[in-house]
Amino acid sequence: MSTAIDNFTQQLHDNLEAVENRAKSLKQNIQSVPGKTQAEIQSTFDKAKTNLDAKKQEFDDYRAKLKTQLEEKESEVMSNIEEWKANREAEKLERRADKAEDHAATVTFLAMAAIEEAEEATLAAIAARLDAETARNGSDES
């Protein structure tokens, strides 16, 4: 394989490994919830929310980038690509490959962002449920 393909697949592998590790971390955090106090859950939720708020603009930027990439991809007509291949228009095919790699990286990053948002939402739901149970039971202790 070419160096460009090797580099791209290694980067993709690293990004997917990061997504997998983040998903495992979320799973472990959720599984540990029953053994935590309401204060510990609230603290974890607050940290997750702060982290998510800090990254919100970055996530929004990636979502906008994804939208632009999808619009560009739709406008790229397959007949043009076949013509580029037939005419060996390397520069155009190179730009297309660069865009495809950038798109893959953007989608992978958004998968990580979605996991962080899922964690914050899950912790918010758990905290809300604990608030409801505390109110129903008339107790502040968990």
Q: Which pair of tokens denotes residue 77? A: 């007509």
Terminal alpha carbon distance of the chain: 58
pLDDT digits (tens, 9 = 90+) for 28-71: 888 888 888 888 888 888 888 898 888 888 889 988 998 888 88
49 vs 141, higher pLDDT: 49
pLDDT digits (tens, 9 = 90+) for 73-132: 777 766 788 889 999 989 999 988 998 899 988 888 888 888 888 888 888 888 888 888
- Per-residue confidence (pLDDT) for residue 140, from 0 to 100: 52
The DSSP letter of residue 116 is: H
pLDDT digits (tens, 9 = 90+) for 2-35: 887 888 888 888 988 988 998 898 888 888 888 8
In 3D space, the residue among 110, 81, 82, 106 whose CA is nearest the CA of residue 96 turns out to be 81
Q: Is the pLDDT of residue 134 over 70?
A: yes
- Is the overall model pTM greater than 0.75, yes or no? no
Query: What 3-state DSSP class applies to 119?
Result: helix
Q: Which pair of tokens denotes residue 67? A: 């939208």
Q: Which pair of tokens denotes residue 142? A: 């968990």
- Per-residue confidence (pLDDT) for residue 4, from 0 to 100: 77
Cα–Cα distance between 54 and 71 in angstroms, integer? 28
Cα–Cα distance between 58 and 106 in angstroms, integer? 11
As a three-state string, the secondary structure of 37-70 is CHHHHHHHHHHHHHHHHHHHHHHHHHHHHHHHHH
Q: Which pair of tokens denotes residue 49? A: 């929310």
pLDDT category of residue 139 using cuts at 50, 70 and 90 = low
